[in-house]
Copies of this chain bind each other. A is one copy, B any other.
Amino acid sequence: MFNGLKRLRKDNTGYDLKQMFIGAEGTLGFVVEATMRLERQPTNLTAMILGTPDFDSIMPVLHAFQDKLDLTAFEFFSDKCLDKLLARGDIPAPFETRTPFYALLEFEATTEERAEQALATFEHCVNEGWVVDGVMSQSEQQLESLWKLREYISETISHFTPYKNDISVTVSKVPAFLADIDAIVSQSYPDFEVLWYGHIGDGNLHLNILKPESLSKEEFFDKCAAVNKWVFETVEKYNGSISAEHGVGMTKRDYLTYSRSEAEIAYMKAIKAAFDPNGIMNPGKVFAD
């Protein structure tokens, strides 16, 4: 048992043990108490949705805005996601133009000048051909309304029995990676509908494949098991992660080697033995015992 609740901003006396517990999924021990640092309240959060002519254009848009503003979010979703959202009937389109992909970005419009800087950057992106159309929230209500276009995707597509994946690669490699996965899936299963969305500013993509009506759940998930292997092989080729946010647990345990080397897994097991010599902490999760 140890207490790491010192609340120090700086401490350089040996190893920072709490770091091992972050993302350990209970395999090293229980966390029974935590200290959180509060940040200041954000001021006048403002969102923009920008329609792009292709996926590749999203990256220069990200960099153009990152260069001018401290972004608090940079998300994306495909036009197929928008299709499903609009079919609900309760979420309006961000603007009339339809484009293959959409970026959603957010920043603090603390001053008039900042909002103007965002608009100038938007114009720059339009002139460069990276953005076709766009909208900026003018109120808290409009901010919430724009966020629905990103936040309601997961719930909206849940009725289509999606095969889901939560993968990440280096931000600069995202376009090539996405194109590779798209090619693999459409080549082998041309009737599968692939929906992309995610936290593109972090290189974190949520890949969703919807079940065709013609297939039973069992048939669909059998085929997805094959897709899974190709996706993870592509992740490995791009030096990415098979689980950006959602951990390993039991589902991805047997695929861990696609993301972590044998040497890393050996060190992880040695660290587990150091904290949990009797192997009683959440056994069987993350890696086989």
Contacts and interface: CB of A to CB of B under 8 A. Distances in A.
A23 B19 contact: no
Contacts of A244: 8, 10-12
Interface string A97-126: 000000000000011111000000000000
Interface string A201-235: 11110000000000000000000000000000000
A202 B10 contact: yes
Contacts of A246: 12
A58 interface: no
A245 B12 contact: yes
Interface residues of A, number: 66
A176 to B, nearest CB: 15
Interface stretch (A44-52, A139-147, A189-197, A271-279): A271-279
B260 A267 contact: no
Nearest to A272: B15
A8 B40 contact: no
Nearest to A63: B40
Interface stretch (A130-138, A148-156, A165-173): A165-173
B202 A168 contact: no
Given A8-B170, A9-B168, A270-B274, A2 B247 contact: no
Interface of A: 1-4, 6-17, 19-20, 22-24, 40, 66-67, 70, 110-114, 168-171, 199, 201-204, 239-248, 252, 256, 259-261, 263-265, 267-268, 270-271, 273-275, 286-287
